[in-house]
Amino acid sequence: MYKEKDLINKIIKGDAIEELRKIPDETIDLIFADPPYFMQTDGILLRTDGTKFSGVEDEWDKFNGYNEYDEFCFNWLKECKRVLKKNGSIWVIGSFQNIYRLGYIMQNLGYWILNDIIWSKPNAAPNFSGTRFKNSHETLLWCTKDKNAKYTFNYKTMKHLNNDKQDKSVWDIGICIGNERIKGEDGKKLHSTQKPEKLLYKVILSSSKPGDLVLDPFFGTGTTGAISKMLNRNFLGIEREENYVNAAQKRIDGVIPIDDDIINLKLEVKPPKVPMKKLIESGLLKVGDNLYDKNKIICDTVTEDGNVSDGNDILSIHKMSAKHKGLTNNNGWDYYWIEDLKYGFIELDRLRYIYEGGYSNE
């Protein structure tokens, strides 16, 4: 059995199932698994100009039929479930050849699917023979150990990075090309399925916290390790091919961690719990003050009991903002704005930070 210190920022060279079995129960916060696809490609694929297209023909992708592939996947997925913390989560990526098998096995093992993300590739390779549609996506299953897990999802951060719109389950990210693609001594791509850094950035940033331990049991060129280090998370990789292990280590050694508010999840910090009455007591808000919507079309007034009046009803800020929006519930802190002598036209919510001493106008 490995000790915890053997697992932090390490690449283990070996077989995924054997090595996973040596990891203690519930030690991992997040797993990203990019297993062999069992592509079953035979023959040579030719581009339209007659040159050979190098797809996935590697020995590590070969199995003697579905029974062997399913047994292999059952075993590593079972071990992943054991080593994952109660509230951790796992991402498994695959293509049409294997993703349905993986999803079936995962559901049978009790995993709870949160999303199936479509990784849409604007620069996917064509279907050279013109016999099918161009295959331009892969699927990621994002799952917890069970339905009740309190997993990490950095919702506000992802919304912020998506132009302040709720992020969706189709991700447009180009396949890994150019300088990002790791080359062997012959100058050719070292690995046939190196994943783009942007994909791992999104996976790791959305579902982990700084300092978390991220496991990748099929490490390849170490994309998971490189991005974990960049985002101030720890990594553990398992990979059985020595040349990939060496390339991954070299790659990770060259990564400089980023330290900013996005990576440190500053947007996820819960607002201070300060009720309206406290704001009135402190003088930050006065009875009779006007509260507006952000376009200054609606104007309500603050009442003595910490509610608001629209001239007809006296309601809480939540109920009144819901009334204006024709909804049953709404968050009044995000709805109302005030004209403040010192800070100008600001969200009502800001007053709670000012009350706590944590808001500056700079």
Footprint of ligand SAM (CB under 6 A): 15-16, 34, 36, 60, 191, 193-195, 218, 220-221, 223, 238-241, 244
Quote the least distance from Cβ 186 to ligand SAM, whole Å: 18
Which element (helix H / strand E) includes 118? strand 112-120
Compute the distance between CA of residue 39 and CA of residue 223 in angstroms, rounded to an integer: 21
Quote the least distance from Cβ 61 to ligand SAM, whole Å: 8
Compute the distance between CA of residue 60 and CA of residue 271 in angstroms, rounded to an integer: 49
Distance of CA 104 to the CA centre of its chain: 22
Quote the least distance from Cβ 47 to ligand SAM, whole Å: 23
Phi-psi region of 22 (alpha: psi -120 to 50; beta: other; left: phi over 0): alpha
The nearer residue to ligand SAM, 151 or 218, going by C-beta atoms, is 218
Quote the least distance from Cβ 200 to ligand SAM, whole Å: 8
The nearer residue to ligand SAM, 196 or 332, going by C-beta atoms, is 196
Quote the least distance from Cβ 100 to ligand SAM, whole Å: 17
Which residue's Cβ lies closest to ligand SAM? 220
Phi, psi of 350 (to 5 degrees): -60, -30
The nearer residue to ligand SAM, 16 or 23, going by C-beta atoms, is 16
Burial state string for 249-263 with b = 16 or more CB within 10 A and e = fewer than 16: bebbeebeeeeeeeb
Compute the distance between CA of residue 21 and CA of residue 27 in angstroms, rounded to an integer: 12
Quote the least distance from Cβ 215 to ligand SAM, whole Å: 12
C-beta atoms surrounding 141 within 10 Å: 21
The nearer residue to ligand SAM, 10 or 324, going by C-beta atoms, is 10
In the chain, % helix, strand, coil (3-state, to 5) comes to 30, 20, 50
The nearer residue to ligand SAM, 105 or 284, going by C-beta atoms, is 105
Quick check: 216 and 224 in contact, CB under 8 A? Answer: yes
Quote the least distance from Cβ 51 to ligand SAM, whole Å: 24
The two beta strands, 314-315 and 170-172, are unpaired
Nearest to 9 by CA among 197, 202, 255, 175: 255
The nearer residue to ligand SAM, 145 or 191, going by C-beta atoms, is 191
Q: CB burial class (10 A; 0-12, 13-18, 19+) of residue 88?
A: buried
Compute the distance between CA of residue 331 and CA of residue 157 in angstroms, rounded to an integer: 19
The nearer residue to ligand SAM, 239 or 349, going by C-beta atoms, is 239
Quote the least distance from Cβ 313 to ligand SAM, whole Å: 57
Quote the least distance from Cβ 272 to ligand SAM, whole Å: 41
The nearer residue to ligand SAM, 194 or 207, going by C-beta atoms, is 194
Sheet strand arrangement including 308-309: 314-315, 308-309, 299-302, 290-292, 337-340, 344-347
Sheet strand arrangement including 137-144: 10-13, 234-239, 213-216, 28-33, 84-94, 137-144, 112-120, 170-172
The nearer residue to ligand SAM, 140 or 317, going by C-beta atoms, is 140
Compute the distance between CA of residue 193 and CA of residue 202 in angstroms, rounded to an integer: 18
